[in-house]
């Protein structure tokens, strides 16, 4: 197992190098000039050139790339072009809301979706199954930002139960934290509930047709024991896989959700950095997201051995 993990981590290094090179190239090739944003509309060409020299943007692209790679190897993510703040410090400051939103979203999605999927498989073809599948299609079809605005209209502006925007950290109290994170969590989890419930249903239905399920029933095991003790456990591998994919997909959903609810997280930082053409911040965040994606896939692969003893690395 340790050898497998080390090999996967070694294989991730070329992926990170390619991601770094592609991101760096795309940012430099797209239209826009950070110096013009910093200087404003009334800046003279001399002022723009002075800013470019100060930021190192006047150097050839390959020199900028190798300088950035050297910084990364030394543990320096760079400095924001706009604020002059180290990027690592900005990431640490904004990490809390994003982690809270991702954790709450995936917890809600798992707690709601897996029981729904199992019940739909148990009542295949019945009214409950059709209702769950209809909700899944609805969850896939409605964009996250539309769900977010509907929730704001109904539960914030209408009922007044939750704040429209903003974030309260857990250090300010459990109830303020829950009130600020509930609507973003509900909006973002709708897609993942639909995804996980659909895969759970399909996987459990496939397992329910296996011989060992009929044997368990013939031995007198009740339906609850068959579903939870045999069917769900043997269907766990595809379910865990889709949960891992869902966690990786949260990166895109967090950007939209944090923008709608004005949460000061990494997703909102991405939007701000893109609009301001803040190269170091964008590059560091994309590399961070790519690293998280690679680590999640590694954790999912390792977890297969827990649910299926036949899998060995």
86 three-state secondary structure: strand
79 three-state secondary structure: strand
Structure token digits, residue 151? 């929730």
Q: What pTM did the predictor assign?
A: 0.78
d(CA 110, CA 101): 14
Burial of 218 (0-12, 13-18, 19+ CB in 10 A): exposed
Structure token digits, residue 9? 């981590």
Structure token digits, residue 225? 């024991």
Structure token digits, residue 15? 């992926």
CA dihedral 13→15→18→21, nearest 10 degrees, is -60
d(CA 114, CA 204): 10
pLDDT, position 48: 65
Output the CA–CA distances (angstroms, integers) from residue 312 to 11, 80, 144, 226, in the order listed.
19, 45, 38, 26
Residue listed under structure tokens 């981590």: 9
pLDDT, position 215: 72
Cβ neighbours, 10 Å, residue 4: 14
pLDDT, position 58: 66
DSSP 222: -
Instruction: Evaluate whether 132 touches 120 at the Cβ level (below 8 Å).
Output: yes
- Name the region of 249 (left: φ>0; alpha: ψ -120 to 50; beta: rest): alpha
Selection from 202, 229, 209 nearest residue 129 by Cα: 202
d(CA 70, CA 204): 50
Output the CA–CA distances (angstroms, integers) from residue 6 to 211, 275, 303, in the order listed.
38, 38, 16
H-helix segments, the chain? 2-29, 34-39, 45-55, 61-73, 87-122, 127-141, 144-151, 174-208, 211-218, 223-225, 232-234, 236-261, 266-276, 279-307
The CATH number of the domain covering residues in 90-307: 1.10.3720.10
pLDDT, position 269: 85
Selection from 197, 234, 175 nearest residue 111 by Cα: 197
pLDDT, position 44: 65
Mean pLDDT in runs of 10 for the chain (313 residues)?
71 76 74 61 65 67 75 76 80 86 88 86 80 82 84 83 82 85 88 86 78 69 68 76 78 80 85 79 83 80 70 62
Structure token digits, residue 43? 């800046």
Cβ neighbours, 10 Å, residue 242: 20
User: Could you state, in order of their start, the residue ranges of all structural domains in the chain?
Assistant: 2-73, 90-307
């Amino acid at each position: 197992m340790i050898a497998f993990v080390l090999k996967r981590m070694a294989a991730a290094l070329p992926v990170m190098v390619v991601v770094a090179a592609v991101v760096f190239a795309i940012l430099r090739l797209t239209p826009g000039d950070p110096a013009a944003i910093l200087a404003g509309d009334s800046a003279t060409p001399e002022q723009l050139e002075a800013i470019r020299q100060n930021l190192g943007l006047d150097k050839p692209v390959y020199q900028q790339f190798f300088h950035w790679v050297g910084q990364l190897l030394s543990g320096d993510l760079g400095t924001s072009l706009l604020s002059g703040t180290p990027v690592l410090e900005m990431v640490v400051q904004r990490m809390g809301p994003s982690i809270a939103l991702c954790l709450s979203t995936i917890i809600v999605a798992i707690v709601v979706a897996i029981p729904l999927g199992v019940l739909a498989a148990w009542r295949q073809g019945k009214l409950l199954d059709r209702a769950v599948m209809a909700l899944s299609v609805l969850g896939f079809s409605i964009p996250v930002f539309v769900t977010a605005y509907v929730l704001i209209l109904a539960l914030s502006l209408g009922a007044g139960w939750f704040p429209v925007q903003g974030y309260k950290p857990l250090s300010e109290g459990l109830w303020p934290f829950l009130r600020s994170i509930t609507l973003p969590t509900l909006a973002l989890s709708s897609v993942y509930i639909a995804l996980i419930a659909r895969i759970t249903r399909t996987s459990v239905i496939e397992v329910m047709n296996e011989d060992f399920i009929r044997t368990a029933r013939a031995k007198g095991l009740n339906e609850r024991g068959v579903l939870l003790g045999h069917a769900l456990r043997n269907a766990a591998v595809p379910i865990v896989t889709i949960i891992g994919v869902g966690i990786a997909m949260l990166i895109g959903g967090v950007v939209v959700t944090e923008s709608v609810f004005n949460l000061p997280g990494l997703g909102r930082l991405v939007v701000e950095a893109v609009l301001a053409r803040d190269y170091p911040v964008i590059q560091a965040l994309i590399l961070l997201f790519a690293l998280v994606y690679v680590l999640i896939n590694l954790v999912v692969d390792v977890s297969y051995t827990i649910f299926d003893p036949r899998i060995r690395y």
